[in-house]
């Protein structure tokens, strides 16, 4: 189904749903949305009811309806025949056209909670807590609310007005948002306590970016994919794009297979550069929907699957001039039936580049642990929490759990934020 389709297309698409007795799409959705239920409401012409069914599990349907990797569609029983239901597009249709039901009033608990971090996890946590009668303030160290959604994802995939609309939902729930205030820099647990906060919920994302150990990564002209996107988004937000020189060349190679890599390629092409996205897996294995890879190709991004980058090569001035790669292919060298992706002997090749963008390989909160010594941060950089209560090593301070399996996504972060908020609610109930 085409994104942003109108009512007729949406109802036709909804009619194709088999309404399975044991729907496999529901457990595949990190938020557990009643997918058959909201699709049934669309085909019965009850878009408002569809919206309220989605909102029971997902306050931010406009965002998921645009950028969710839609694991529900991969699970759909029609996927095998190549005619999976366009669940994400239906969610977007409902979010864009359904009318909001006035929120039921809840008795205030009299408790104040500080949510630190305004990404999807913080947004979902704030919505859940405010919906249960807590007074919530979100503190964000960056200049804009929205976390990675605002900082990195390009406007053409997630319009800022969509984000603003979603923040309005939070405002209606009474959530206050303070930007350019960082925990560990402009405030501490003690200062929050002194301000009357009864609990703190850390929704600080993945932390500082970890650097891939790739030879040549320190050459001039090599940037992190996220940094490239952040700079362009910032220039767009401040309307200075095109007025200031960009420190990027005209021949970009992007190393990575996530949404950030594809986004870099699409942004680079829009800025008039050439872009090649290189990754060592097959296209089926990467965490981006096939339709999005196709879209990037149609826009002029070259996509090189099954190629492992082994080195970034520099010129005499210390600037990147090319990346060296090997072709990859499935092989079973010991004939044990254990097929693996391995470099193909003699397949070395170079891709010329004047700029290389490297995707991150995870994050770490070691820095936060250092400036807030009471906070126990494990050696892998994750904030330690009690498995049962979700509380950190600091009394009354909770944290959103990092994803244990699967690719990180905004949808998973919404789900994790909601779960963490429920831990806070339970803490005050016991
Ligand atoms: C380029 C790119 C494209 C993506 N595309 C998609 C996509 O298409 N679909 C999808 O589902 N997901 C996508 N993602 C992934 C998704 O954005 C993340 O999984 C999600 O944002 C994680 O949410 P979070 O709230 O945990 O963290 P974040 O979004 O990182 O938010 C954490 C926030 O906490 C703030 N913070 C950190 N430390 C402090 C502190 N000490 N004090 C105050 N504030 C602090 C940070 O500034 C940040 O705003 C993409 C990510 C990137 C980078
Ligand atoms: S949030 Fe994502 S996984 Fe859940 S129903 Fe919507 S598109 Fe599917």
Ligand nearest the Cα of residue 72 is 2
Cα–ligand 1 centroid distance for 151 (angstroms): 8
Q: pLDDT digit string (tens) for 312-369?
A: 999 999 999 999 999 999 999 889 999 999 999 999 999 999 999 999 777 888 888 8
Cα–ligand 2 centroid distance for 227 (angstroms): 28
Q: Is residue 39 within 6 Å of ligand 2 at its C-beta?
A: no
- Among the listed ranges 85-99, 221-235, 299-313, 403-417, which one has the minimum average pLDDT value? 403-417
CATH topology of domain 222-358: FAD/NAD(P)-binding domain (3.50.50)
Q: What angle do CA 98, 29, 147 make, to 5 degrees?
A: 75
Q: Which is it for strands 307-314 and 320-331: parallel, antiparallel or unpaired? A: antiparallel
Q: pLDDT digit string (tens) for 1-24?
A: 555 568 899 999 999 999 999 999
Ligand 2 pocket, mutate which of 64, 93, 410 (most atoms under 8 A from CB): 64
Residue span(s) of the chain under CATH 3.50.50.60 come to: 112-207+363-429, 222-358
CATH topology of domain 7-97: Fumarate Reductase Iron-sulfur Protein; Chain B, domain 2 (1.10.1060)
Q: Is residue 29 within 6 Å of ligand 2 at its C-beta?
A: yes
Q: How far is CA 27 from CA 31, 400, 416, in A?
A: 8, 21, 15
Q: What angle do CA 417, 422, 424 make, to 5 degrees?
A: 100
Q: What's the predicted TM-score (pTM) here?
A: 0.92
Cα–ligand 1 centroid distance for 155 (angstroms): 15
Ramachandran angles phi, psi of 141, nearest 5°: -75, -30
pLDDT at 304: 96
Q: pLDDT digit string (tens) for 267-318?
A: 999 999 999 999 999 998 888 888 899 999 999 999 999 999 999 999 999 9
Residue span(s) of the chain under CATH 1.10.1060.10 come to: 7-97
Q: pLDDT digit string (tens) for 126-183?
A: 999 999 999 999 999 999 899 999 999 999 999 999 999 998 989 999 999 999 999 9
CATH topology of domain 112-207+363-429: FAD/NAD(P)-binding domain (3.50.50)
Element (H, E) at 11: helix 7-16
């Amino acid at each position: 189904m085409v994104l942003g389709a109108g009512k007729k297309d949406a109802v036709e698409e909804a009619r194709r749903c088999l309404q399975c007795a044991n729907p496999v799409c529901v457990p595949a959705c990190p938020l557990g949305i009643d997918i058959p239920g909201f699709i049934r409401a669309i085909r019965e012409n009850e878009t408002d009811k569809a919206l309220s069914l989605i909102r029971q599990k997902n306050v931010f349907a406009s965002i998921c309806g645009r950028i969710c990797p839609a694991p529900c569609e991969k699970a759909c029983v029609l996927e095998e025949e190549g005619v999976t239901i366009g669940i994400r597009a239906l969610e977007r249709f409902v979010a864009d056209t359904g009318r909001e039901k006035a929120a039921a009033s809840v008795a205030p608990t009299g408790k104040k909670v500080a949510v630190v971090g305004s990404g999807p996890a913080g947004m979902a946590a704030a919505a859940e807590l405010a919906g249960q009668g807590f007074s919530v303030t979100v503190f964000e160290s960056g200049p804009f609310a929205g976390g990675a959604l605002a900082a990195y994802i390009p406007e053409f995939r997630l319009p800022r007005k969509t984000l603003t609309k979603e923040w309005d939902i939070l405002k209606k729930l009474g959530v206050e948002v303070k930007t350019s205030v960082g925990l560990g820099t402009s405030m501490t647990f003690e200062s929050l306590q002194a301000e009357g906060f009864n609990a703190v919920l850390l929704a600080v994302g993945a932390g500082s970016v970890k650097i891939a150990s790739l030879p040549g990564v320190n050459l001039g002209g090599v940037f992190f994919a996220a940094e490239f996107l952040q700079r362009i988004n910032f220039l767009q937000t401040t309307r200075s794009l095109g007025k200031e020189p960009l420190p990027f060349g005209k021949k970009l190679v992007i190393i990575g297979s996530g949404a950030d890599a594809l986004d870099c390629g699409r942004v680079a092409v829009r800025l008039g550069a050439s872009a090649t996205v290189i990754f060592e897996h097959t296209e089926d294995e990467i965490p981006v929907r096939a339709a999005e890879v196709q879209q990037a190709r149609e826009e002029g991004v070259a996509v090189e699957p099954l190629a492992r980058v082994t080195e970034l090569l520099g010129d005499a001035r210390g600037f990147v001039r090319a990346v060296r790669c090997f072709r990859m292919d499935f092989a079973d060298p010991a004939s044990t039936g254990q097929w693996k992706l391995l470099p193909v002997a003699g397949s070395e090749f170079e891709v010329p580049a004047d700029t290389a963008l490297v995707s991150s390989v995870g994050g770490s909160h070691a820095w936060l642990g250092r400036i807030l010594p009471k906070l126990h941060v494990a050696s892998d950089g994750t904030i330690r929490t009690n498995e049962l209560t979700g509380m950190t090593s600091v009394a009354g301070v909770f944290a959103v759990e990092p994803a244990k399996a699967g690719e990180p996504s905004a949808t998973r972060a919404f789900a994790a934020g909601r779960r963490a908020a429920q831990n806070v609610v339970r803490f005050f109930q016991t």
